[in-house]
Amino acid sequence: MSAPLLPDAYARSNYRDKGLGVKANKPADADKADLPEDSNKYELSPPRESDQAGLASWYGEQFHGRKTASGERFDSMDMTAAHKTLPFGTRVCVRSSVTGKSVVVRINDRGPFAPGRVIDLSKAAAQELGMLGLGIKPVELWQLDADEDECPATLNASGKKRHPSVAQGAAASKTRAASANQPARKVSQTAKRKR
């Protein structure tokens, strides 16, 4: 035999469980007017504004092995950076305004101390951003939360592409890896003469 059904008014009332003192939820069909008209659609969050923008420079071999302001040894091939005020260990997404590429770095040093510059990148980070041959270039910075491992997918584009997807990055890495394994081609003497 099934349990007796409660009267509709009783089910919709502000019933309090005497044992727990918890207010019961409304039945699923109650007050459907509370739901938005098209409740199965989702809105995308707006692009995340940058926390800071300015010029970036990079430092490499001449500082390799020296102590940073945090006390650790600088390794030009680590994804690290120097910032004037961010706490050591803070992870920052840096996007080049020139190349549109992004990279995550960890703050382990102080600087830069030149006017207009907001961050000094390690050689490895500058290489990932495509900045090695460019010198000082404009960038945007986003301070990441402790649980974030990569740049946000919805950065404010400022006219540039959004952060590439993992699949695009994997394909690009695979192509670079394949081309890196190919021996350098020699330019034949006939090809040189044709130029």
Per-residue pLDDT of the chain in tens (195 residues, 90 and over written 9): 555 554 554 444 444 444 444 444 545 554 545 545 555 554 444 455 668 999 999 988 889 999 999 999 999 999 999 999 999 999 999 999 999 999 999 999 999 988 889 999 999 999 999 998 877 999 999 999 988 888 887 665 543 433 333 444 444 444 444 444 444 333 333 333 443
In this prediction the pTM is 0.56
How many whole angstroms separate alpha carbon 106 and alpha carbon 92? 6
How many whole angstroms separate alpha carbon 142 and alpha carbon 49? 8
Cis amide leading into 112 (omega within 30)? yes
H or E segment and range at residue 151:
none
Burial of 7 (0-12, 13-18, 19+ CB in 10 A): exposed
Task: Give the chain's count of helices (H) and strands (E).
Answer: 4, 6
What are the structural domains of the chain? 52-145 (2.40.40.10)
Q: Checking DSSP bridges between strand 91-96 and strand 117-122, what pairing results, if any?
A: unpaired
